[in-house]
Amino acid sequence: MNPARSGQEPPLVRALPHAYDAAMDRRAPASNAVLPLALPRVVALRAAFVLALAIALAGAACGGGDGDGGDGGGQVGPPEPQEQPLPSAADVRAALTGLSFDDFLGRSFEILLQRSPMSVVELGLEDQIDVGRGFLDDLSDDFAGETQAVEETILELARGYEPAALAAEQRVADEAYVWYLDDRVRAHAFSDLDYRITPVVNSVVVGTELFFTDIHPLASADDADRYVLRLVAVGGQMHQVRDVMRRLDGDGILTPRLLIQWSRPGIHALAGSDPRDTPYYRTLETKLGAIDIDDGARSELLARAEEAIAESVIPGYRELDELLADQEGRAPADVGAWQYPDGDAYYAQALRHHITAEVTADQLHQLGLDELERIHADLDQRFAALGYPAGAPLGQQLARVAADGGHVARADVLATYTAMIDDAQGRLPDAFDVLPTAGVVVTGVPSGGFYVGPSLDNARPGTFFATLGDGGDDLFAMPTLVYHETVPGHHLQIGVAHDLDLPLFQRVVVFNGFAEGWGLYAEWLAGQLGWYADDPYGDIGRLQAEAFRAARLVVDTGIHAMQWSFDEAVAFFEENTGYGQRFAEGQIARYASWPGQATAYWTGRAKILESRGAAEAALGAGFDDVAFHHAVLIHGSVPLDVLASDVAADLGLPAPERK
């Protein structure tokens, strides 16, 4: 089987994070035809991406209609929910001034979350934070402006707490929270350059569909009623997106043509669908089968959902389809951020946001080239040890690995992944003294390779979504994927964070550099702990995954800072990773859609390894895996800018100099 597999990790969640990263198999336009991409199902998210849309926080209470919904409005079913009053910046200042640090952190973060109903639902906090029964995130310009004012106010107040007056754990929270708020405020100047519609999970359309199909709870009749009420709001949300994109068009800012071409087919198809053939209806219909309600109530819910989809969802998609059809011919052929006003400054901020540290595009580009040279040399050694001919193209060598390393039939894929997780969990006590209380399960989907974190109360376990293709899977790449997504990777890190006795902010916010850096570190750690000692093919799979992430540094910066074309980036990616053309095209479309996001994996791992190296040098024979991992995980997700000092403090080492 061709080693150009369905990827390593999924899209981080909605803007989720978690998410959660388009490591899914995407279909690229073939010849002159434009084929729809398989809609990404996030990595939900790892509570992080949970917040990517969540707390990219441009959104808030968007009810069933927005007063100017056109075809996208329309009341369906029960009465339209009333607008939830949200505090203004002045109200926020009055409410937060004079609070103790702990009270300020808890209350201010709750205020931010309340502005994103979809984030509250995803986190399972509806019982604690009132966001109404039928609201989605408000994506209008007016609401975004109000949110920015609130964020600026909270940042100003947060900076008023003197770190020297705080306890040690409070200082950790304070530094992370100020970094987070400052990052949000820095992004305000560039918000117009974030694409609203793309073929990957940072797209409003993809994120909204994911919210209904994979995130929204459907375990009770009340959940189902909320689901239907929120369907009524979809049209209003899509109408808001259309209005923003029209305004940007007037300002001369259009999404790249290629991203429109890759996004529109799915939107167009749903806009012309029968309501019952949409994922919104099918999801409800399927999950209602597991809810204990009578047939009459079930039929009523489905009838209301069908009406909501016909009168709100489909008209909303139709509006976006018509908009994209109008803009496609005028959209730019180039795919990089450099082409827009202040595009270079925007990309620099995007890198800082995703990496959570100061790194330039030139530094990242050269780092990627240097690391690829090292990784290719390591791969050549592995190929020689297996007796493979020297000098063959990487793709050919990996095809040999796929053939020789074994193949798992479709019927055995889930059991194989489950056995790998069970084996890994049995080894964890050798390197960890903090483990998640939440369980992790494996489920099959047509396009998988991603993880969705557990609910905060562990009622929903962590879930690894494995690809169940007709042809099964190549065994050599399976261990590295499952270590990254479950244990010792995302499931361990996110599950431990959920269990911590810390403020909500530290338990649920995931900084991309930390989260994805930990996932990549987990792959490296498995090698260090000897988990590939008897599996040379699996070790090659680990190295290919390294090449995948190093190549991202080169192509992401190439596209957005060095004016590479789409085709140039695809060719480089293919040659240096061994993946096939279609997978390469899907990956490059993802990087074009989401500037900077894919650079966080390698840089995050590098920062963790830098802290590890410093601890090993300082402690010598006294260095201990268990103590180091405890220090990294015990504060929840933190910006990479502050990770080293937190780890050093926990290990009793001098604070490192800030670079």
Q: What is the pLDDT of residues 375-402, one digit of tens each?
A: 999 999 999 999 999 999 999 999 999 9
- Tell me the HSE value of 153 on the side-chain side, using a 13 A CA sphere: 22
List the end-to-end C-alpha distance of the chain, in Å, as a whole number: 45
Residue 637 belongs to a domain: yes
> Helix crossing, 141-158 with 221-250: angle to 10°?
100
Residue 627 belongs to a domain: yes
Q: Which amino acid is at 100?
A: S
- pLDDT at position 124, please? 87
Residue 220 belongs to a domain: yes
The backbone region for 70, taken as left when phi is positive above 0, alpha when psi lies in -120 to 50, beta otherwise, is left
Q: Which residues pair with 43 in a beta bridge?
A: 12
**Neighbour tally for 527: CB within 10 Å:** 17
Distances (CA, A) of 228 to 132, 246, 286, 342: 13, 29, 14, 42
Final residue of a domain: which of 311, 333, 355?
333
Spatial neighbors of 209 by CB under 8 A, at least 6 apart, are: 39, 279, 280
Q: Is 425 helix (H, G, I), strand (E, B) or coil?
A: helix
Write out the DSSP string of 462-473: EEEEEE--TT-E
- Tell me the HSE value of 619 on the side-chain side, using a 13 A CA sphere: 18
Alpha carbons 101 and 328: distance in angstroms, whole number: 50
Q: Which amino acid is at 341?
A: P
Are 19 and 12 in contact, with CB atoms under 8 Å apart? yes
Alpha carbons 170 and 506: distance in angstroms, whole number: 11
Are 205 and 78 in contact, with CB atoms under 8 Å apart? no
Residue 399 belongs to a domain: no
- Tell me the HSE value of 109 on the side-chain side, using a 13 A CA sphere: 24
- Sign of the CA dihedral with 43 first, then 45, 51, and 54 last: positive
For tokens 């890190």, name the residue. Answer: 493
Structural domain count of the chain: 2
Q: Output the six-digit token pair for 323.
A: 């908009």
Residue 626 belongs to a domain: yes
Residue 17 belongs to a domain: no
Final residue of a domain: which of 333, 364, 391?
333
Final residue of a domain: which of 290, 305, 333?
333
- pLDDT at position 657, please? 75
Distances (CA, A) of 86 to 60, 132, 181, 424: 9, 11, 19, 46
Are 116 and 53 in contact, with CB atoms under 8 Å apart? yes
Spatial neighbors of 29 by CB under 8 A, at least 6 apart, are: 35, 261, 262, 585
Cis bond before residue 332 (omega within 30° of 0): no
Alpha carbons 318 and 75: distance in angstroms, whole number: 18
Tell how far CA 636 is from the center of its chain: 17
Q: Which amino acid is at 432?
A: F
Q: Which residues pair with 462 in a beta bridge?
A: 440
Domain range enclosing 295: 197-333
Residues of the chain with pLDDT under 70: 1-84, 658-659
- pLDDT at position 83, please? 58
Q: What is the DSSP letter of 214?
A: I
Residue 322 belongs to a domain: yes
Alpha carbons 33 and 617: distance in angstroms, whole number: 56
Are 311 and 83 in contact, with CB atoms under 8 Å apart? no
In tens, the pLDDT along 203-244 reads 999 999 989 998 899 999 999 999 999 999 999 999 999 999
Residue 578 belongs to a domain: no
